[in-house]
Amino acid sequence: MTIRIADAAHFHPYPPSYYAATAHRSPSRPTLEGVKQVDVCVIGGGYTGLSTALHCAERGLSVVLLEGKRIGWGASGVNGGQVMPGWNRTTRGLVQQFGPAQARTLFAMANEAVEGLFQRIERHQIACDAQRGHLIVAATPADMQMLETELEAREAMGYVHSRLVDRDIAVGLTGAPQMYGGLLDTRGGHVHPLNLALGLAVAAELAGARLHEDSRVVRMRPVAARMLVETLRGKVLAKNVVLACGAQSGKLLEPVGRRTSALTAFAAATAQLSDKEAAGLVKDGLAVCDTRMSVNYFRMSPDNRLLFGGGERYRLSADEPAEAVVRSRLEAVFPQLEGVALDYTWSGLVTVTSSRMPAVGRVGSVFYADGYSGQGVALSNLMGKVLSEAITGDNSRFDLISHLPNLAVPGGRWLRLPIFAAIGALAAFREAH
């Protein structure tokens, strides 16, 4: 059942977005009160926190999750819902940087992230409009060569679920006239992001985790052999803490702050289109993204809207409304939609790293995972599993991921972001050529 936000303010005090307006009814969870003792205290109720809580509870650990606002309040509730195969790197780039053996392990982990997510959705019957089928479209003829190289590299890894499509097919599949071909993948896909988060929350609770909303963590410090995590009204004494606050993580733990930076990303949902208009747009229930460094991504909603994301800013100037950013991108990709009504526009924070591989690590008994660089829908769910492995004594995959090179830059976000963006752009250029 879906309800509209106007009918459900009590249940959904989320910032306005298409996803908030079409979210399933979800109970609010109690604010943390008093003192609790647990094996694991998870801070943050997005995918990273929910996945960690779920995997830890399934491993028999006692878990409390503290969310400052509502489940899925952050990027997990507003993202494009694209379940993208791989890391935010080309497969050839992985081999060049990490060597064939480690690249193979990383490639397999990214596949596990996608499969694991769809299996979770199936196992817990999470109603989040999950659908398979993902297409990367080439925005320039040269980018088509990059996609050909990517296909070869995937096939060299034994991956058989991708194939190239030519320009006519790519244009036909997307309705976007300026595309030069594409890489179609049958394992990736898309979900309703907020309903995924809400469904993962229920699964975590059924596995035994206790979830608290409106429970913002203001401080954490070691006490004897435990960590004491404090909110305004309660405390948790935990053997291990998992920091999963997305763009806010750096505020609680400086090493995360040095390894990640956040930028504002934009999205929109058009008004409902007629069947005839929708028939000329994205087909076969595909999720689509293009090869631009500043990526555009889009898909159709179940109620005939084009859901479109694109455009990002280090900082939004006061006289630049979010609609202006996303509309110009949408109309450039779909000129036939010039002037289309946008019923919803919204923004969220994407955390990025210098290498575009996640920032995962630990400081004492505090673990963290962040910086998925725009590919967190699948990867954050896997990282929750990897963190649960480490917490229960199997460090092999945690060690691999936590030692991936990510530049740590001291100073504020405004210094880090341009540095990371420049390094990322250079690395992407090298991988593509």
Pick from 46, 199, 310, 361 the residue near ligand FAD by CB under 6 A.
Answer: 46
Euclidean distance between CA atoms 403 and 174, whole angstroms: 39
SS3 106: helix
Binding of ligand FAD by 310 (CB under 6 A): no
Q: How many residues bind ligand FAD (CB under 6 A)?
A: 43
Euclidean distance between CA atoms 84 and 288, whole angstroms: 10
Nearer to ligand FAD, 141 or 321 (CB): 321
Pick from 81, 93, 310, 311 the residue near ligand FAD by CB under 6 A.
Answer: 81
Assigned token pair, 311: 């455009």
Euclidean distance between CA atoms 273 and 330, whole angstroms: 15
- Residues 36, 224, 363, 245, Cα dihedral to 10°: 20
Helix (H) or strand (E) holding 379: helix 376-391
Pick from 22, 26, 76, 195 the residue near ligand FAD by CB under 6 A.
Answer: 76
Pick from 90, 91, 248, 291 the residue near ligand FAD by CB under 6 A.
Answer: 248
Euclidean distance between CA atoms 21 and 32, whole angstroms: 27
In the bound complex, what is the minimum distance in angstroms from residue 20's beta carbon to ligand FAD? 13
Give me the helices (H) in 207-321, please: 249-252, 254-259, 275-279
Stretch that binds ligand FAD, among 132-140, 145-153, 245-253, 269-277 (CB under 6 A): 245-253
Binding of ligand FAD by 48 (CB under 6 A): yes
Pick from 26, 354, 375, 388 the residue near ligand FAD by CB under 6 A.
Answer: 375
Assigned token pair, 399: 């060690």
Binding of ligand FAD by 377 (CB under 6 A): yes
In the bound complex, what is the minimum distance in angstroms from residue 101's beta carbon to ligand FAD? 26
In the bound complex, what is the minimum distance in angstroms from residue 245's beta carbon to ligand FAD? 4
In the bound complex, what is the minimum distance in angstroms from residue 365's beta carbon to ligand FAD? 17
Stretch that binds ligand FAD, among 60-68, 129-137, 319-327, 331-339 (CB under 6 A): 60-68
Euclidean distance between CA atoms 20 and 71, whole angstroms: 12
- Which residues are CB-neighbours of 73 under 8 A, at least 6 positions away? 14, 45, 46, 67
Euclidean distance between CA atoms 333 and 79, whole angstroms: 19
Stretch that binds ligand FAD, among 24-32, 206-214, 328-336, 375-383 (CB under 6 A): 375-383
State the residues that interact with ligand FAD by CB under 6 A: 43-49, 66-69, 73-76, 78-82, 84, 216-217, 244-248, 252, 265, 267, 297, 309, 348-350, 370, 372, 374-377, 380
